[in-house]
Amino acid sequence: MKKRQYLLPSAALLGTLAVFQWSKHHAPKATDIAQAAKPTQQSTRLINVDRLVEQSLAAKGQLWETVEANGRDRLSKTMIVDANCFREAVSSEIGTELTIAFSKQIPSVKATVTGRKAESDGTVITNLEVAGAPEGQLTIQENAPMGFFLAQLYYQNHPVAYEFKKAEDSLVATRHELSEMICSLIDHQTADVSYMGLPPVDKVRAKQAEDEDKEEDDDDEEEAAGARRKKLIQEAKIGGGGGTNGLSLTIADASITEGNSGSKSLTFTVRLSKADRNRVISARFATANGTAISGSDYTATSGTVSIAAGRTTATLSVSITGDTAIESNENFVVNLSSPVNAVISDSQAIGTIINDDSPPIGVPVFNSLPGATAVALLDMDGQVVSGTQWAGGGTINARGILDTLTNTQLLEICRRTAEDFSPFQINVTTEESVYLAAPTNRRIRCIITPDNEWFGSAGGVAYVNSFTWTGDTPCWVFSDMLSNSARFIAEASTHEIGHTLSLSHDGRLSPSEAYYQGHGSGEVGWAPIMGVGYYKSLVQWSSGEYLSANNTENDLNKITTLNGFGYRTDVVPNTIATTVALTGSTGARSASGILETTGDQDVFSFTTSGGACSFTALGDATSQNIDIVLEILNGSGAVIASANPDTLTDASVSASLAAGTYYLRISGAGRGDILADGYSNYASIGQYTISGNAP
């Protein structure tokens, strides 16, 4: 057990050392990051830089390389190396120059021992500088009594790092994507300071999580570009076309307001110059990209449009996808071709998608618990940071996200983050004045910014325990690495604030991974907040109950005992003897509250004249941390009716009741096997509302 607890900080050392070096030398972004549906010129340039770096290292023969553009294709390449290749390095004095020979398949490296220190548990850490082009750094950790060994090698401005671990009597070398190893311990020369990061959103999984798993249609780009420059007109030749009797087809332009979500139909009208009483007139049609891109802005469509005999018009529809992105009006085209019984006089219509989103005037005012001593500031309007441990104490000019996200999205970030912290005595706020009024050791500033280049490719980063530091050291969330999604930004904000409250990452031992992405699907798809919560609906604090968890720390206990604040006061009693009444005496009834602690139950009373009674309990309207159990009890506390749907997190219950007083009890539940696709009720806590009817 002792060894298991040791592995997390040891295995994470390279990640943060590498990220520190990476950010220090202004590393390019890793290629495997979530981007908007339409990559910018800058992001494309950085991806190309990544490829050049990879190719140049491959040419130099540094360990073993590929030229794969996708970071996922560079991961977890392994091979056996000489089990004693590091023996001389760990026994040599500081200043010794030596050559490390890994195997016949991997080129040797020349290195100099630059430092060595012993930890309190007996672990000896040896640091070496690696010579060559490029230069690199090697860290070796060994604790012989515990049977632990880990060596980690990386190069400046190189997106791939290398890890060496013991496997029985052998030593196995594994290549990793650097962005997967972004956290945990870093040596600041004067003291060991730990910080933790979060990977950027995975592009494919992010699209699946938000039901946007559509592919862009790049084949029509050239045609669309031409279409934007000039709308082609085909002049009809009266009497031409063989048997058309002078009939000609046109298609009219159309426009529609985009909307914030879902889809709408944009309708185009195809018109015939005059009716043909005897024949059906038809033509083929197909959409093509303009500034609007199929798969993200609209759905590519093709087919045949037909005008019935005796009629002069027909319509065709294209599905438009709503979003909340702030953007210019966009357009695509619909082209007509292959007419039957007519000629085409106007072959192309322009479809315009009118943007209805606008940037907020300022940051919306939000406070989740006004008056609380502890404060977490969501800083969205930009900040100049200097004199902290970030960037070696240098100045960071971080832009805000007001020009990128709408007011609705900003409020969604606030509400999602506030739900995660709703059981605790902490105010999640957007007001700078509230933050500045809080004690300096009872507050944290979480800066949400698109500017991650000073640090490197990450979804966010924070110093562990920094909530109780003085000196205004912030944590960071990098919106560009999170597809500028309100949902993902909120998950990252909670995660990084969690680090400042002393929490470490939730990963797994087998398979070995620093961040667990969860299990299950639908409403009951579950993930730990301190793992990766981007891709699951139910994201909760954790105590490492899932299979092969590498971290069994009690999140709730650490949050409420190490940071100067605890749980909120439980205002709704948990027994029928001390209950409070639902709002409303007849007809509609309602209530709201918070389940603050594991196993908390809130009990409400209601009186009915008799008849059908029904109630529904919902978690937070924006995001939800509770899997709800809802019960109707009689006067002696016996359960009359109960609901806890297996695949839903909300619950509805009903019963036909005689006249009298009854009770409604709400509690948090777990689901299924916690070692499979289930979870316990450990963190089924948070906000809820109740609505219903009782005569």
Q: How confident is the model at residue 359 (pLDDT cuts 50, 70, 90)?
A: low
Q: How much is the pLDDT for 457? A: 85
In angstroms, the first-to-last Cα distance of the chain is 58
Is 491 or 78 the better-scoring residue by pLDDT? 491
pLDDT mean over 108-120: 84
> Which of the listed ranges 30-39, 71-80, 201-210, 326-335 does the model predict with the highest average pLDDT?
326-335
Is 177's pLDDT higher than 90? Answer: no
Q: How much is the pLDDT for 233? A: 27
Q: How confident is the model at residue 17 (pLDDT cuts 50, 70, 90)?
A: very low
Q: Is the dihedral of CA 207, 32, 542, 464 positive or negative?
A: negative
Q: How much is the pLDDT for 70? A: 44
pLDDT per residue over 21-36, tens digit each? 333 333 322 222 222 2
Q: How much is the pLDDT for 168? A: 75
In the chain, the percentage of residues whose pLDDT exceeds 70 is 78
Out of 188-202, 509-523, 648-662, pick the least confident: 188-202
The Cα 417–Cα 409 span in angstroms is 12
Is 31 or 371 the better-scoring residue by pLDDT? 371
pLDDT mean over 516-521: 95
Q: Are the C-beta atoms of 54 and 160 separated by less than 8 Å? A: yes
Q: How confident is the model at residue 392 (pLDDT cuts 50, 70, 90)?
A: confident
Q: How much is the pLDDT for 660? A: 96
Out of 2.60.60.20, 2.60.40.10, 1.10.645.10, 2.60.120.380, which CATH number does the structure's domain 576-694 have? 2.60.120.380
Is 43's pLDDT higher than 50? Answer: no
Q: Are the C-beta atoms of 226 and 243 separated by less than 8 Å? A: no
Among 534, 532, 482, which residue's Cα sits nearest to residue 507?
Answer: 532
Q: What count of other Cβ atoms lies within 10 Å of the Cβ of residue 393?
A: 9
- The reported pTM is 0.58
pLDDT per residue over 45-77, tens digit each? 334 444 444 444 433 445 555 444 444 444 446
Q: How much is the pLDDT for 18? A: 33
Q: How confident is the model at residue 389 (pLDDT cuts 50, 70, 90)?
A: confident
- Count Cα atoms within 13 angstroms, Cβ side, for 379: 28
Among 431, 242, 461, 259, which residue's Cα sits nearest to residue 342?
Answer: 242
Q: How confident is the model at residue 206 (pLDDT cuts 50, 70, 90)?
A: confident
Q: How much is the pLDDT for 56? A: 41
Residue 354, strand partner residues: 257
Q: How much is the pLDDT for 14? A: 32
Strands 651-657 and 330-340: unpaired
pLDDT per residue over 458-501, tens digit each? 899 999 989 998 878 999 999 999 989 999 999 999 999 999 99
Q: Provide the mean pLDDT of the chain.
A: 81
In the chain, the percentage of residues whose pLDDT exceeds 90 is 58
Q: How confident is the model at residue 157 (pLDDT cuts 50, 70, 90)?
A: low
CATH number of 221-354: 2.60.40.2030
Query: What are the φ and ψ backbone dihedral angles of 270, each rounded to 5 degrees?
Result: -100, 130
Q: How much is the pLDDT for 179? A: 43
Strands 426-429 and 374-379: parallel
Q: What are the sequence ranges of the domains in the chain?
A: 2-187, 221-354, 360-500, 504-552, 576-694
